[in-house]
Structure 1
Amino acid sequence: MIIFGTKGYLYQLAILTLVCGQCGNPSAHTLRKRVTKFSLFFVPLFPIHIKYTTQCTFCGIEHKVPKEQADQLLAMAANGGPGAPAPQPGQGGYGHPQPPQQQPYQ
């Protein structure tokens, strides 16, 4: 007996400030990557479907984005381009958290 199936994964790649095509508000949009992987005996082996989307945090509408445009948006977020919030002092950029600070014993 062979047990196989699919499993979905959702990755949040970046948060950008864009003008929404639905509501027209300049608001934060999350860039997400949805990956569906084929699994055999509950072990995910390889991706069979990849989809990129942006979701408006104001109205909640979700738009499908081609891979090329998703790469451009991700590069814009990484470079701190227009629409990308700048990292705050003491915080890392996207996906790069700062290590915790050691507190001396008192």
Structure 2
Amino acid sequence: MIIFGTRGYIYQLAMLTLLCGHCGNPSAHALRKRVTKFTLFFVPLFPVSTKYATQCTFCGAERRLEREEAERLQAQGGMGGGQGGQGFQPGAGGIPQQQNPYQQ
């Protein structure tokens, strides 16, 4: 009998301050990498798929990213490994920046 399957792993790459495209608030976003690995007898052997996403800590909205965009955000966002980031321009790189209706 052979036991095989897949298992998912989530790695937090960075915490970034971005303008959320869903709620419009500038808030912390977790940049995460989700890796699905093929397992044989419960031993992970090789990755089957890798996906990247950011999640807003204010409203919980999640946005999927391409690998290149995730790497760019991690490089611009400061320190990796969940150590908090700074210095990213909201609205750059395909992240929509919404206008504040109360600002004149």
- TM-score of the aligned structures, taking structure 1 as reference length: 0.75
Aligned to 2:92: none
1:16 and 2:16 correspond? yes
The count of aligned residue pairs is 84
Aligned residue identity for 2:7: K
Q: Superposed, which structure 2 residues align to 1:41-52 within 5 Å?
A: 41-52=41-52
CA displacement 1:42-99 (0-9 Å, x = unmatched) = 1000000100000000000000010000000110123765139xxxxxxxxxxxxxxx
Aligned residue identity for 2:70: A
Aligned residue identity for 1:82: G
1:83 and 2:104 correspond? no
Identity between Structure 1 and Structure 2 (%): 65
Gaps of 5+ in 1: 85-106
The 3 A distance-change label for structure 1 pair 28 and 81 is closer
RMSD (Å), alpha carbons = 1.6
The 3 A distance-change label for structure 1 pair 56 and 81 is closer
3-state SS in 1 of match to 2:36: strand
1:4 and 2:9 correspond? no
**Higher RCO, Cα 8 Å, sep 6+:** 2
Instruction: Give the ranges of 4+ consecutive aligned residues of structure 1 lying more than 2 Å apart after TM superposition.
Output: 77-81
- TM-score of the aligned structures, taking structure 2 as reference length: 0.76
Aligned to 1:57: 57
Q: 1: distance between equivalents of 2:73 and 2:38?
A: 28
